[in-house]
């Protein structure tokens, strides 16, 4: 696997992990007691911390990519072992 493929696959894992980590720890204005602005959605976050989301996404993506790369290297699950699914 070349370095561009490694980067591209890691980036895909990172985007997936960012969407997984995005809703954790978010509080709405109703939960924090803040006053909503006119026109503000009820579900709009009042304490969004993008650095925390990026950190969580990086940790999760690194773990998932390490598992993926170990499977790629050692061949734990291959397409040959999944042939019974396609039949």
Q: What is the pTM of this model?
A: 0.82
Distance of CA 52 to CAs 1, 20, 49, 63, Å? 31, 13, 6, 17
pLDDT, one tens digit per residue, over 27-85 is 998 898 888 889 989 888 988 999 999 999 999 999 999 999 999 999 999 888 877 76
Residue 70 contacts by C-beta under 8 Å, 6 or more apart in sequence? 76
């Amino acid at each position: 696997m070349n370095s561009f493929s490694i980067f591209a696959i890691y980036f895909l894992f990172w985007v997936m992990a960012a969407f997984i980590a995005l809703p954790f720890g978010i509080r709405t204005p109703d939960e924090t007691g803040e006053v909503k602005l006119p026109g503000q959605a009820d579900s709009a976050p009042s304490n969004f911390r993008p650095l925390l989301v990026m950190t969580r996404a990086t940790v999760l993506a690194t773990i998932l990519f390490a598992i993926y790369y170990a499977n790629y290297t050692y061949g734990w699950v291959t397409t040959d072992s999944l042939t019974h699914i396609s039949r």
